[in-house]
Amino acid sequence: MRSSNVSAYSYIAPAFALLGLVLFAPVFYGGWYSLQDIRYGAPMGFAGFKNFARLLDEPDMGATLLRTFIHTGFSVVITIAIALGLAVWIDHLAPRFAFLVQIIVIVPWIISTVVAALLFRWVFLNDIGLAAWAARALGFGSFQPLTSPAGAMSLLIAISVWKRVGYAVIILLAGLKSIPDDYNEAARIDGANGWQIFRRITLPLLKTPLLLVAIVLTLSNINTVETPLVTTGGGPGDATRILAIDVYERAFVNFDLGGATAMALLMFAGNIILVVAYVRFTKWKA
Amino acid sequence: MKRQFTRRAALLAGLAIATLAGGMAEASAQTIRMWTFLNPAGNAPREKALAEIIANFEKANPGAKVSVEPQVWDQMTPKFLAAAQQGTAPDIVWVITDLLGDAIKSGSLADLNKLFADKWSTERKKDNAGAYWDLCQVDGKQYCMFQSRNYVGLYYRPDLLKEAGIDPDKLTTWPAFIDAAKKLTAKEPAGTVTRYGFGQAWSEAQPDPQIVIPYMLAKQGDLFDAQGRARFATAAGIEGLTLQTEMVTKHEVTPKLVTSWTVDDLYEQFSAGRVAMITGASVRVSTLQARMGKDKVGFMLYPGVDGKPHSPGVMAGWAVGVWSKGKNVDLAGKFVEYMGGAEADKIWVNVGGQTPGLASTPATMPDFIADPANAYLAVAGKGSATAGWLAPIAFSVGGYRQALNKAAQEVVTNGLSPKEALERAERDFNRRNNR
């Protein structure tokens, strides 16, 4: 028994070593880097927790966290709500039509994020562009989301929802397909209506895919840098300056690599805490 | 069977000899790596000029090869600084002016005096003299030579100004400029603006200096104090930012969307005829002329204040240096010297549409300089000589343009007063630079 364990471990050891190198080495390197005094892009000496302390002194840090929370919270909730509705609808469609709808829904997910962000930017960049024309045609008058703080944040959330809803639909649809028809039939025989079936049977049985979707969406929204960078650049003012943009700007605009690494590490820790909290909160069992 | 074996052996031996010979030839060739934002395989005028200069150099120096590794312009210098510390930097690098001080202080750039400039004649030294040459000099050492010299001023559409009866030479005060911008702003009967008089770019992404900067420079001479702390929230700064933002809020000659426009967006809008005048860098004139037609792009200096005809424009450019710890320092120095020499300077001007780097160059190409389409070269040259401002290198000034662009955004979109916005910009700049 023991020798077979040794053989098994020896088989998976190379893969684990490679994974460790690719996944964990950057984290440890980042940890070491964040404790250094970085000048001209290179560590010049041990700085202790100075880089972290500087972050706490930032007067705008609270506002950046709040914006990140708003962006992530609204994006995740709206995406899941729309995806759930779409998944349930697709589940009731004829197979061929359902397949076609799935293809359409998944397209934004497979488009490059930068390309998608650029497309949205071009649409809203000009006051005589496509969006402005559509808004005027619909009687909304002038429509320039990039020039107002609320508009810019709403646009970012809209792009996030558009981009990620396809992924959520596919996962939730897979969850719906795995629910045996017998349960619904039994409920119907017992006199349950559609809403009651959905509320009492479908939703509880979708707990695992919902949790998975929520975790993936939360992490991807917290860590997204391409969409805000390309679409709004964090502006106007600080309106869309979320944590990921702040890390980027520290590193590549102000060249404060020590501060940027410290902040990235804190975000990494935050990501882990969030995942653990989700799993605990929903008492997930695999 | 035996014959077949012999043939195979002969073939293999031949291949081995050919490979060995190729390897030896490669070993005798010396390759220097260069980081620049220009891609010699590209079609932009400056890229074509660089390709020609490299080809000429390689022809004149058999065995030498210049390998260009194109980089993203605003990340190139920090990347070079990091690579130099780790021993992987290229032999030659183009350093952005804002970070030139950091590059010199880091010890990553070689002294060009030792490599070649000490051997120059007095005439040659005189030919190169000027503010750009001086900027590279620290404690008697010469750390760089400038290429792609840039002067930030104003682009205009000569045809549209002519149509509106506006003489660009007379736009020497801001009120006159605003009047011209109003005349150039065109509206449909329904009120939709089809063309704005003046375009700006206030995005924080890869920003060019906007008009608050020349205004402040004209009034207070500099943007920083001796310790490198920002001097934005001053009376001049407040007036300048008010002027800049009122182009949107009061005079309505600039669209509100400029809060999110990048310089590239601005050039696109200008090319498309959506704006008649824009802030812009002289180095891009040739590119836009190639796209729009030579008669469609003019370049002028900023209007002045307090009776002066022009406000100072930001001078910039690319400080080309040799990595001090590179393996091919001598050859790299030779190429940098050639790239800034008389033959290459003519190519930069003629093919690349760049402002001459040497005092002697204009006299060698009078017809080119006299061509009205190339008048921008003389304008940029005049600006550099009479009104230009080079960012100091005693301290890092990276991020000042972003901070001022954000201040303009805050005024127009968040309703902050220019004073509040500039105080915030000043505080952010100083904090981020640990000052």
B304 φ, ψ (degrees, to nearest 5): -100, 180
Confidence of residue A26 (pLDDT cuts 50, 70, 90): confident
Burial bucket for residue B58 (CB in 10 Å: 0-12, 13-18, 19+): middle
Distance CA B49, CA B348 (A): 6
- Type of residue at B72: V
Q: Which residues from B are below 8 Å from A41, CB to CB?
A: 78-79, 81-85
Q: Do the domain assignments include residue B71?
A: yes
Degrees to nearest 5, angle at CA B37 with B31 and B41: 65
Quick one: tokens of B158?
A: 């000569």
Alpha helices for B250-297 (secondary structure H): 263-271, 285-292
pLDDT in tens, B24-42: 444 446 999 999 999 999 9
Does residue A270 belong to the interface with chain B, where contact is any CB pair within 8 Å? no
Pair (B160, B230) in one structural domain? yes
Quick one: tokens of A176?
A: 């719906």
> Residue B157: what pLDDT?
96
Nearest-Cα residue of chain B relative to residue A152: B260
Half-sphere CA count of B333, side-chain side, radius 13 A:
20
Name which of A142-151, B222-231, B256-265 the model is least confident about.
A142-151
> Residue A251: what pLDDT?
86
Pair (B214, B348) in one structural domain? no
CB B135 within 8 Å of CB B319: yes
Pair (B167, B40) in one structural domain? no
pLDDT in tens, B383-404: 888 888 998 888 888 889 999 9
Distance CA B418, CA B401 (A): 16
Distance CA A206, CA A209 (A): 6
> Strand, helix or coil at B59?
helix
CB B196 within 8 Å of CB B278: no
Q: Do the domain assignments include residue B225?
A: yes
> Strand, helix or coil at B115?
helix
Residue predicted with more confidence, A258 or B19: A258
Q: Which residues from A are below 8 Å from B35, CB to CB?
A: none
Pair (B54, B99) in one structural domain? yes
Pair (B292, B233) in one structural domain? yes
Does residue A102 belong to the interface with chain B, where contact is any CB pair within 8 Å? no
Question: Shortest Cα distance from A71 to chain B (angstroms)?
Answer: 19
Nearest-Cα residue of chain A relative to residue B76: A252
Confidence of residue A67 (pLDDT cuts 50, 70, 90): very high
Residue predicted with more confidence, B165 or B432: B165
Does residue B424 belong to the interface with chain A, where contact is any CB pair within 8 Å? no
Does residue A91 belong to the interface with chain B, where contact is any CB pair within 8 Å? no
What totals of helices (H) and strands (E) does chain B contain, helices first? 20, 12
pLDDT over 80 (residue A142): no
Pair (B33, B137) in one structural domain? yes
Q: Do the domain assignments include residue B12?
A: no
Q: Do B260 and A125 touch (CB under 8 A)?
A: yes
What totals of helices (H) and strands (E) does chain A contain, helices first? 15, 2
Q: Do B414 and A252 touch (CB under 8 A)?
A: no
> Residue B343: what pLDDT?
95
Residue B156, beta-bridge partner list: B277, B298
Distance CA A35, CA A259 (A): 9
Mean pLDDT of A101-125: 91
Question: Shortest Cα distance from B81 to chain A (angstroms)?
Answer: 5
Into how many domains does chain B fold?
2
Degrees to nearest 5, angle at CA B280 with B276 and B285: 85
Does residue B102 belong to the interface with chain A, where contact is any CB pair within 8 Å? yes
The fold of A61-240 is: MetI-like fold (1.10.3720)
Q: Do the domain assignments include residue B224?
A: yes
Which candidate in B263, B413, B423, B430 is best for mutational testing of the A interface (most A CBs within 10 A)?
A: B413
- Type of residue at B66: V
> Residue A29: what pLDDT?
87
pLDDT over 70 (residue A25): yes
Q: Which residues from A are below 8 Å from B106, CB to CB?
A: 39-40
Half-sphere CA count of B364, side-chain side, radius 13 A:
15
Alpha helices for B29-120 (secondary structure H): 45-60, 73-86, 100-105, 112-115
Residue predicted with more confidence, B253 or B101: B253
Segment holding B29, helix H or strand E: none
Return the residue matching tokens 């700064």. Answer: B237
Distance CA B205, CA B259 (A): 11
Q: Do the domain assignments include residue B6?
A: no
pLDDT in tens, A159-168: 999 999 999 9
> Residue B112: what pLDDT?
97
Pair (B76, B179) in one structural domain? no
pLDDT in tens, B89-125: 999 999 988 889 889 988 999 999 999 999 999 999 9
CB A188 within 8 Å of CB A197: yes
Confidence of residue A71 (pLDDT cuts 50, 70, 90): very high
> Residue B22: what pLDDT?
47
Segment holding B155, helix H or strand E: strand B145-156
Pair (B198, B266) in one structural domain? yes
Nearest-Cα residue of chain B relative to residue A260: B432
Distance CA A246, CA B193 (A): 35
Distance CA A34, CA A135 (A): 47
ipTM higher than threshold 0.90: no
Confidence of residue B17 (pLDDT cuts 50, 70, 90): low
Q: Do the domain assignments include residue B15?
A: no
Omega of the bond leading into A236 within 30 degrees of 0 (cis): yes
Does residue B48 belong to the interface with chain A, where contact is any CB pair within 8 Å? no
The residue among B229, B269, B223 whose CA lies nearest residue B391 is B223
> Residue A281: what pLDDT?
72
pLDDT in tens, B195-244: 999 999 999 887 899 999 999 999 999 999 999 999 999 999 999 999 99
pLDDT over 60 (residue A205): yes
> Residue B270: what pLDDT?
95
Q: Which domain holds residue B420?
A: 151-315+387-432
**DSSP single-letter state for residue A198:** I
Q: How many CB pairs under 8 A join A and B?
A: 100
Distance CA B72, CA B76 (A): 6
Task: Write out residues 106-165 of A within 8 Å (CB-CB) of B.
Answer: 125-128, 144, 146-149, 152
Q: Do the domain assignments include residue B107?
A: yes
CATH number at residue B169: 3.40.190.10
- Taking the alpha carbons at both ends of chain B, their separation in whole angstroms is 82
Q: Do B409 and A255 touch (CB under 8 A)?
A: no
> Residue B1: what pLDDT?
45
> Residue A131: what pLDDT?
79
A237 φ, ψ (degrees, to nearest 5): 65, -125
Q: Do B204 and A253 touch (CB under 8 A)?
A: yes
Pair (B166, B143) in one structural domain? no
> Residue B27: what pLDDT?
43
Question: What percent of chain B is predicted at pLDDT more than 90?
Answer: 70
Mean pLDDT of A54-60: 86
Pair (B194, B121) in one structural domain? no
Q: Do the domain assignments include residue B119?
A: yes
Pair (B326, B298) in one structural domain? no
**DSSP single-letter state for residue B98:** G
Distance CA B202, CA A76 (A): 31
Quick one: tokens of B432?
A: 């981020």
CB B171 within 8 Å of CB B309: no
Distance CA B103, CA B178 (A): 40
pLDDT over 90 (residue B192): no
Residue predicted with more confidence, B339 or B189: B339
pLDDT over 80 (residue B83): yes
pLDDT over 80 (residue A152): yes
Pair (B293, B360) in one structural domain? no
Mean pLDDT of A221-249: 92
pLDDT over 50 (residue A211): yes
Tell me how far apart the 2 most distant CA atoms of chain A are, in Å.
76
| Most confident residue range from A45-49, B240-244, B317-321 | B240-244
Distances (CA, A) of B85 to A48, A52, A257, B103, B108: 21, 24, 14, 11, 8
Task: Write out residues 127-156 of B within 8 Å (CB-CB) of A.
Answer: none
Q: Do A234 and B255 touch (CB under 8 A)?
A: no
> Strand, helix or coil at B163?
helix
Kindly give, in sequence order, each residue whose CB lies less than 8 Å from that of residue B145, ignoring residues fewer than 6 positions away. Answer: B112, B128, B133, B136, B319, B320, B321, B336, B337, B339, B340
pLDDT over 80 (residue B19): no
**Which is it for the CA torsion B260, B265, B266, B268, positive or negative?**
negative
The residue among B224, B252, B249 whose CA lies nearest residue B416 is B249
The mean pLDDT value of chain A amounts to: 89
pLDDT over 70 (residue B181): yes
Distance CA A25, CA A110 (A): 29
Quick one: tokens of A20?
A: 């460790």
CB A117 within 8 Å of CB A226: yes
Question: Shortest Cα distance from B109 to chain A (angstroms)?
Answer: 13
Does residue B417 belong to the interface with chain A, where contact is any CB pair within 8 Å? no
If you write DSSP's letter for every residue of A68-136 in order, what string do you get?
HHHHHHHHHHHHHHHHHHHHHHHHTS-HHHHHHHHHHHHHHHHS-HHHHHHHHHHHHSSTTSHHHHHHH
- Type of residue at A160: S
Does residue B265 belong to the interface with chain A, where contact is any CB pair within 8 Å? yes
Distances (CA, A) of A164 to A110, A146, A153, A158, A274: 9, 21, 17, 10, 19
pLDDT over 50 (residue B23): no
If you write DSSP's letter for every residue of B379-423 in order, what string do you get?
HHHHHHHHT-EE--SSS--TTHHHHHHHHHHHHHHH---HHHHHH
Question: Shortest Cα distance from A20 to chain B (angstroms)?
Answer: 24
> Residue A275: what pLDDT?
83
